[in-house]
């Protein structure tokens, strides 16, 4: 059996599962209560909707194919009165899951195939509860913020430092990487003539573009060899997790698009929302180029840093597919004419 996470006090969280097969609920009850969670299982989706209307739960495990209504219809009703519930959809087979568009529209955080083994499901639950835990922390911080601008500004900066320390403690690589991505992004923003407010959003958003890694299991972040398909799918959740973590704090509303969409591609083949072209906000398109540049010019456990000439060619090759062509041209101009600034950032 998996060891219980030491980062989360399990009995602080309430999980509700809805499945029309009592046997599955019984198995989940044994597995989750043994893991330390407070658990409620229901076979009637209509009863579950009313239960959620009148009682707080942190996370929901929801079967998709049920009677009298399917799981997506259940979520449709729940989202009318509860926007914060973390929902994981369970399917008998991945081909039976609802369309991706439906999952996005209803803000379903993930789905998992049913199995006799619950290890994968427990990983998803732990990741979800880590995100919920951070949301609680941020919500409490947000309540303590004072009404005056000076107090708000000070609290904002303090909150940023708290989050920075949290991410860096979990993923050491994020420290230098995020600092450099932020600095490169600001250079591009300045070259584009962005306003002071936009530059500030860009700086902070780029610093926290990987905040969602808080919700990714440590063994994946620390793995030195190539990730398998399941692990890669898991790490692809970090933009959505990051956006979810910050969503309860109004002070972060301006930077959430950078957090959520920094892995979108200009050709629409990115994630999580498959935004295309100028559908991707400008500050995000800037961060994406800076992020890719630092990834290529940084040493990894599996390779040395790539040469600047090779990286320039990769940026050019990615114009119109991965990157906004205009942003690439601006950054290449900086590389060609102000490389000392880039080199100084890279050396820090």
pLDDT digits (tens, 9 = 90+) for 200-249: 999 999 988 988 888 888 778 777 778 888 888 888 999 999 898 888 77
Going by C-beta distance under 8 Å and a sequence separation of 6 or more, which residues neighbour residue 286?
Answer: 185, 188, 189, 192, 202, 327
Distance CA 144, CA 259 (A): 24
- pLDDT band of 301, cuts 50, 70, 90: low
Tokens representing residue 8 in the block = 């989360």
Annotation says 4 is catalytic: no
CATH architecture of 10-133: 3-Layer(aba) Sandwich (3.40)
Q: Position of tokens 């205009």?
A: 326
- pLDDT, position 172: 61
- pLDDT, position 237: 92
Which has the minimum average pLDDT: 78-87, 104-113, 167-176, 296-305?
A: 167-176
Residue pair 213/171 in contact by the 8 Å Cβ criterion: yes
Q: Are domains 10-133 and 147-347 of this chain identical in fold? A: no
In the chain, domain spans: 10-133, 147-347
Domain 147-347: which CATH number of 1.10.3210.10, 3.30.390.50, 1.20.1250.20, 1.10.3720.10: 1.10.3210.10
Question: According to the per-residue pLDDT averaged within each range, which of 126-130, 312-316, 344-348 is highest?
Answer: 312-316
- pLDDT, position 5: 42
CA contacts within 13 A on the Cβ side of 22: 0
Q: How many CB atoms lie within 10 A of CB 290?
A: 26
List, in sequence order, the alpha helices (H) in 254-305: 256-261, 282-297
Q: What is the mean pLDDT of residues 42-62?
A: 94
Residue 319 has pLDDT above 90, yes or no: yes
Residue pair 345/183 in contact by the 8 Å Cβ criterion: yes
Residue 6 has pLDDT above 50, yes or no: no
In the set 213, 223, 299, 312, the catalytic residue is: 213
| Total-model pTM | 0.59
Q: How many CB atoms lie within 10 A of CB 32?
A: 21
Tokens representing residue 166 in the block = 């949290």
Going by C-beta distance under 8 Å and a sequence separation of 6 or more, which residues neighbour residue 79?
Answer: 106, 107
Q: Position of tokens 């009703």?
A: 77
196-207 vs 282-297: helix axis angle to the nearest 10? 50
List, in sequence order, the alpha helices (H) in the chain: 22-34, 45-54, 71-78, 100-105, 119-144, 149-170, 172-191, 196-207, 218-221, 229-235, 238-246, 256-261, 282-297, 308-317, 325-337, 339-347
- pLDDT, position 252: 82
């Amino acid at each position: 059996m998996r060891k219980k996470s030491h980062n989360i006090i399990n009995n602080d969280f309430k999980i509700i599962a809805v499945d029309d097969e009592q046997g599955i609920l019984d198995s989940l009850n044994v597995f989750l209560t043994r893991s330390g969670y407070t658990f409620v299982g229901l076979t009637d989706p209509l009863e579950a909707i009313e239960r959620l209307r009148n009682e707080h739960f942190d996370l929901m495990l929801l079967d998709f194919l049920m009677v009298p209504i399917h799981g997506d219809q259940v979520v449709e009703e729940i989202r009318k009165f509860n926007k914060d519930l973390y929902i994981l959809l369970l399917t008998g087979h991945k081909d039976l899951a609802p369309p991706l568009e439906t999952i996005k529209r209803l803000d379903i955080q993930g789905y998992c195939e049913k199995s006799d083994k619950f290890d994968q499901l427990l990983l998803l639950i732990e990741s979800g509860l880590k995100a919920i835990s951070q949301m609680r922390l941020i919500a409490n911080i947000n309540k303590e913020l004072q009404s005056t601008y000076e107090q708000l500004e000070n609290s904002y900066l303090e909150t940023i430092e708290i989050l920075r320390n949290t991410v860096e403690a979990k993923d050491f690589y994020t420290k230098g990487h995020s600092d450099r991505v932020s600095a490169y992004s600001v250079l591009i923003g300045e070259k584009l003539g962005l306003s002071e407010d936009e530059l500030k959003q860009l700086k902070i958003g780029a610093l926290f573009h990987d905040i969602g890694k808080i919700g990714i299991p440590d063994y994946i972040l620390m793995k030195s060899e190539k990730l398998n398909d399941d692990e890669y799918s898991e790490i692809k959740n970090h933009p959505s997790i990051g956006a979810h973590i910050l969503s309860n704090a109004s002070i972060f509303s301006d930077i959430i698009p950078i957090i959520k969409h920094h892995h979108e591609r200009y050709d629409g083949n990115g994630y999580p929302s498959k935004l295309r072209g100028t559908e991707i906000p400008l500050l995000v398109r800037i961060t994406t180029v800076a992020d890719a540049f630092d990834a290529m010019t940084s040493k990894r456990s599996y390779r040395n840093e790539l040469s600047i000439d090779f990286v320039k060619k990769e940026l050019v090759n990615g114009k119109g597919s991965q990157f906004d062509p205009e942003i690439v041209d601006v950054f290449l101009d900086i590389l060609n004419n102000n490389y000392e600034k880039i080199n100084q950032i890279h050396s820090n």
